[in-house]
Structure 1
Amino acid sequence: MLKIGCHLSVSKGFLHMGKEALSIGANTFQFFTRNPRGGKAKAIDERDAFALRDLAKENNFTTFLAHAPYTLNACSADQRVREFALEIMENDLKRMEYLPNSFYNFHPGSHINQGVEVGINHIVNMLNTLLNIEQTTIVLLETMAGKGTEIGGTFEELKQILDGVILSEKMGVCLDTCHIYDAGYDVVNDLEGVLGEFDKIIGLDKLYAIHLNDSKNPFNSRKDRHEKIGEGFIGLEAITKIINHPKLRNLPFFLETPNELSGYAKEISLLKGLYKE
Structure 2
Amino acid sequence: MFHIGSHISSSKGYAAMGRQAVKLGADTFAFFTRNPRGGSAKAVQQADVDKYLEIAKEHKFAQIVAHAPYTLNACAVKEEIRTFARGVFADDLQRMEYIPGQYYNFHPGSHVGQGVEKGIEWIAGMLNENLRPEQSTTVLLETMAGKGSEVGKNFEELRAIIDRIELSDKLGVCLDTCHVWDSGYDIVNNLDGVLEEFEHIIGLERLKAIHINDSMNPMGSHKDRHARIGEGTIGLEAFRRIVRHPLLQDIPFILETPNDDAGWAGEIAMLRKMAEEK
Flag whether TM exceeds 0.5 (same fold). Answer: yes
Q: How does 1:12-31 map to 2 (within 5 A)?
A: 12-31=12-31
Q: Does 1:149 align with 2:138?
A: no
SS of residue matched to 1:275: helix
Q: Does 1:7 align with 2:10?
A: no
Code of the residue aligned with 1:223 in structure 2: it is K
Q: Does 1:265 align with 2:265?
A: yes
1:248 & 1:224 partners in 2: Cα distance? 23
Q: How does 1:198-277 map to 2 (within 5 A)?
A: 198-276=198-276
**Structure 1 residues 96-139: Cα deviation after superposition (integer angstroms, max 9, x where no partner):** 01111000000000001101111100000110000000110000
Code of the residue aligned with 1:151 in structure 2: it is V
**Structure 1 residues 220-244: Cα deviation after superposition (integer angstroms, max 9, x where no partner):** 1100011001110000000110011
**Pairwise CA distance, 1:42:** 1.0
Partners of 1:39 and 1:71 within 8 A in 2 = no
**Structure 1 residues 38-78: Cα deviation after superposition (integer angstroms, max 9, x where no partner):** 22211111110111011101111110110000000000111
2:234 & 2:249 partners in 1: Cα distance? 18
Q: TM-score, normalised by structure 1?
A: 0.99
1:251 & 1:134 partners in 2: Cα distance? 23
2:37 & 2:191 partners in 1: Cα distance? 33
User: What RMSD over aligned residues (CA atoms) do the two structures have, in Å?
Assistant: 0.8
1:45 & 1:261 partners in 2: Cα distance? 26
Partners of 1:50 and 1:98 within 8 A in 2 = no
2:250 & 2:54 partners in 1: Cα distance? 23
Code of the residue aligned with 1:64 in structure 2: it is I
**Pairwise CA distance, 1:272:** 1.2
Identity score, percent: 57
Q: Does 1:62 align with 2:62?
A: yes
SS of residue matched to 1:146: coil
Question: Match of 2:197?
Answer: 197
Q: TM-score, normalised by structure 2?
A: 0.98
**Pairwise CA distance, 1:7:** 0.3
1:26 & 1:240 partners in 2: Cα distance? 18
**Structure 1 residues 206-233: Cα deviation after superposition (integer angstroms, max 9, x where no partner):** 1000000000111111000110011100
Note the residue ranges of structure 2 that are not aligned, 5 or more in a row. Answer: none
Q: How does 1:108-123 map to 2 (within 5 A)?
A: 108-123=108-123
Partners of 1:73 and 1:108 within 8 A in 2 = yes
Please identify runs of 4+ aligned residues in structure 1 that moved more than 4 A.
none
Q: How does 1:74-85 map to 2 (within 5 A)?
A: 74-85=74-85
1:249 & 1:267 partners in 2: Cα distance? 18
SS of residue matched to 1:10: coil
Question: Match of 1:171?
Answer: 171
